[in-house]
């Protein structure tokens, strides 16, 4: 089976959704994937052949390519019709990717599977709803796959007749894996983390929706032995560093910047708790990565998070926009026995979210889609 993938970004320009495309394709070598993506940067190759995965980067290598993709991808499909038969197309998110798939369906009757992965809040979606044909992207899709119950319900709101399928994202269990207590101590020494502190680690884009400011406010209300280590970059970094200084937390907060997945895994393995106080979240693959390491999770009750973080089972959940509740949870997590209990449950829970396991579910969806047996 040959699958045509529409995605506005692909490696090395990857977030959670793009990693899903990468890992699912890599885990299904029995199928061929032609991945169409926007080039966006001049140094990237226009074509890469990785065996059963062919990557076509369309555009001039400029940021505008993301918008040009809406027209370039259908044009690519038209010219490929004489040489390639595609069993189905797969649009990654209701953005320019889905617009390209929508045009291909209208012009060439190419059916498409729409994956919903957006982690933005209601205000963002309200702005999207004002775009031309936005709801049509959902209504015209031949099948919708969403990564959380939260997004299943959102898809039903836009397309009441649809029956979205729930298939979550996964995590790389070869990278995000537990270590022994001795290895953890060694990592702490190597990374310069104090052995007597309780380390709350977070990894995310530094944007408002991810609630790093809330974590800093919670830290101010918690035990002096608590420290926060932040991996990631984003538009809010300067504001967050300024807030850290205003709160007098400079000695308790470390901003690492972008450090790559290998180092994220290492910091997780050296930490005690994974913490993200999201304001909105489609699912949050990083919560699964943390659980794969064996970290208990401190998170909020928003979006798709409750699908994968169960309060007092594999983590603690607090209301959004409540640093006070988060600080109380941080205090509770001082208890080594509680952390050990949550850690064991997190590790076991994560086993059903490896990319191998998720890819098997996606293959069933692809095969059923191709056979139209829903």
Residue in the block written with tokens 């991808």: 73
* Res 5: pLDDT: 98
What's the rounded mean pLDDT across residues 279-293? 96
Q: How far apart are CA 231 and CA 49, in angstroms?
A: 32
Domains 2-170+355-371 and 181-353 share a fold: yes
Band of residue 15 on the pLDDT scale cut at 50, 70, 90: confident
* Residue range 201-216, pLDDT digits in tens: 999 999 999 999 999 9
Average pLDDT of the chain to the nearest whole number: 95
Pick the CATH number of 2-170+355-371 from 3.40.50.620, 3.50.50.60, 3.40.50.2000, 1.10.357.10: 3.40.50.2000
- Please answer whether residues 37 and 11 qualify as being in contact, where contact means their C-beta atoms are separated by less than 8 angstroms: no
pTM for the complete prediction? 0.93
* Res 372: pLDDT: 47
For residue 291, give the nearest of 210, 227, 345 by alpha carbon: 345
Residue 12, preceding bond cis, omega within 30 degrees?
yes
* Residue range 45-63, pLDDT digits in tens: 999 999 999 999 999 999 9
Characterize the bridge pairing of strands 53-58 and 47-50.
antiparallel
pLDDT for 374 beyond 60:
no
Instruction: Judge residue 50's burial from the number of C-beta atoms within 10 Å of its C-beta, 0-12 exposed, 13-18 middle, 19 or more buried.
Output: exposed
Domain ranges of the chain: 2-170+355-371, 181-353
% residues pLDDT > 70 (the chain): 99
What contacts 267, CB < 8 A, 6 or more positions away?
A: 191, 201, 203, 229, 231, 256, 259
Q: Does 181-353 carry CATH code 3.40.50.2000? A: yes
* Res 54: pLDDT: 98
pLDDT for 373 beyond 60:
no
């Amino acid at each position: 089976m040959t699958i045509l993938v529409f995605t506005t970004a692909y490696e090395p320009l990857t977030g959670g959704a793009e990693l899903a495309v990468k890992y699912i394709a890599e885990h299904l070598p029995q199928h061929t994937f032609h991945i169409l993506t926007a080039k966006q940067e001049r140094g990237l190759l226009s074509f890469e052949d990785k065996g059963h995965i062919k990557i076509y980067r369309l555009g001039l290598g400029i940021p505008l390519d993301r918008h040009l993709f809406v027209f370039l991808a259908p044009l690519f499909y038209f010219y490929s019709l004489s040489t390639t038969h595609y069993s189905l197309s797969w649009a990654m998110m209701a953005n320019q990717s889905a617009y390209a798939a929508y045009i291909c369906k209208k012009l060439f009757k190419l059916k498409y599977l729409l994956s919903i992965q957006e982690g933005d809040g209601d205000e963002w979606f309200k702005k999207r709803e004002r775009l031309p044909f936005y709801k049509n992207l959902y209504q015209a899709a031949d099948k919708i796959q969403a990564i959380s119950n939260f997004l299943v319900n959102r898809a039903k709101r836009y397309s009441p007749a649809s029956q979205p399928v729930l298939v979550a994202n996964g995590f790389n269990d070869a990278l995000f894996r537990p270590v022994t207590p001795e290895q953890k101590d060694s990592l702490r020494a190597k990374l310069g983390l104090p052995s007597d502190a309780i380390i709350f680690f977070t990894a995310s884009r530094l944007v408002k929706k991810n609630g790093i400011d809330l974590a800093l406010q919670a830290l101010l209300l918690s035990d002096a032995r608590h420290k926060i280590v932040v991996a990631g970059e984003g538009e809010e970094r300067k504001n967050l560093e300024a807030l850290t200084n205003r709160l007098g937390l400079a000695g308790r907060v470390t901003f690492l910047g972008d450090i790559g997945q290998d180092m994220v895994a290492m910091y997780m393995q050296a930490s005690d708790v994974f913490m993200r106080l999201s304001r909105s979240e489609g699912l949050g693959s990083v919560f699964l990565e943390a659980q794969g390491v064996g970290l208990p999770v401190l998170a909020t009750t928003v979006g798709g998070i409750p699908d994968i973080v169960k309060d007092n089972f594999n983590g603690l959940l607090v209301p959004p926009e409540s640093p006070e509740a988060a600080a109380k949870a941080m205090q509770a997590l001082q208890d080594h026995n509680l952390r050990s209990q949550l850690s064991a449950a997190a590790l076991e829970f994560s086993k059903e979210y490896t990319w191998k396991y998720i890819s098997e579910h996606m293959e069933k969806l692809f095969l059923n889609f191709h056979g139209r047996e829903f």
